[in-house]
Amino acid sequence: MSRKTSEQRPVFPFTSIVGQEEMCEISLLKLSLILNVIDPKIGGVMIMGDRGTGKSTIVRALVDLLPPIDVVENDQYNSHPYDPELMSDEVLEKLKNNEKINVIQIKTPMVDLPLGATEDRVCGTIDIEKAISEGKKAFEPGLLAQANRGILYVDEVNLLDDHLVDVLLDSAASGWNTVEREGISICHPARFILVGSGNPEEGELRPQLLDRFGMHAQIKTVKEPHLRVKIVQQRELFERNPKEFKAKYKEEQDKLMEKIINARKTLKDVKIKYELLEKISQICSDLNVDGLRGDMVTSRAAKALVAFENRQEVTPKDIFTVITLCLRHRLRKDPLESIDSGFKVQEAFKKVFSFNN
């Protein structure tokens, strides 16, 4: 999908999506996306929900909240003009040779990964014939290059080949994509927020892959008739006149964008006390969570929440707000158990913190 096409397509405003009640499924999903935008190192979001619950709509609405980014003109990897860690080899070479680079602003990229995509389409491919005949590394960048410094969205990720999911998660975690073919190796920056969605009826991801997503949000079909009617009406109004509908929510969108920009700036100043970190680890231990990802993601998400709310120190309530999203998918599944994993996380939290919501 070209960048031009994605910019022309009307996008449903993020702030108009109903379900604003505190701690409801939709508001928690929206929160998990916002926290990942504030701190991409949280590790992305996996969204599981019924068909037709607006998973794709919410994700695509997110990109409108992101500020434009500075990139090097005519660079295929959205290279950062000032940060060497986010530059392609070509841009680094130009700087080394004291060549001038032009800087332009573009909308934060959002790339959709189609279900039938091949590894070459995702990672990019090397033109071996050209490399041999001309002696140059002829590389055709893939979707990971397009998504650098933006969002990569994979709908029906649970139907994607496990090997491909592994490649995506590796790149998302390391921030780099390496392609090796016939003795030729290409490496380029690939720092993106990975968002996956799927329908649990069509199968779950393997636990090893699921654990690699930072947060896990669940969304079910709305049952209340008045909310269902409101959702249908909102959608009809948007489809009738997208520009007018978006203009109605412009002020709210701008305020939310400002909050996100400010949170990104203040995130580094947010503090979390050692005893709170110890309690997070105690919860992970009590729940038999494998590895340390759960501990790290929970503390990162809590700090991002504090930055979003323009505060400076993490409280137990902040941890309670995010911990289910961070740990629910890391619990070992017992097919005979009927207790929801989110409920188990909350109970473990209340026991360790002696906390009542």
Pairing relationship of beta strands 124-126 and 139-141 according to DSSP bridges: antiparallel
Contact status, residue 351 vs residue 325, Cβ threshold 8 Å? no
Beta-bridged to residue 195, according to DSSP, are: 45, 153
Q: Taking Cα atoms as reference points, which of 43, 45, 42, 34 lies closest to residue 216? A: 45
Active site residue 293: yes
Q: Taking Cα atoms as reference points, which of 214, 175, 207 lies closest to residue 303? A: 214
Beta-bridged to residue 187, according to DSSP, are: 178
From the candidates 60, 191, 293, 328, which is the catalytic residue? 293
Q: Side chain identity at 169, as an amino acid letter?
A: L
How many Å apart are CA 245 and CA 250, to the nearest integer? 9
Pairing relationship of beta strands 103-106 and 110-112 according to DSSP bridges: unpaired
Helices (H), 211-292: 225-240, 242-248, 250-266, 274-286
Pairing relationship of beta strands 150-155 and 139-141 according to DSSP bridges: unpaired
How many Å apart are CA 87 and CA 82, to the nearest integer? 8
Instruction: Quote the DSSP letter at residue 8.
Output: H
How many Å apart are CA 30 and CA 20, to the nearest integer? 9
How many Å apart are CA 13 and CA 247, to the nearest integer? 9
How many Å apart are CA 153 and CA 143, to the nearest integer? 11
> Could you tell me the sign of the dihedral formed by the alpha carbons of 211, 149, 307, 260, in that order?
negative
Instruction: Quote the DSSP letter at residue 85.
Output: G
* Active-site residue list: 293
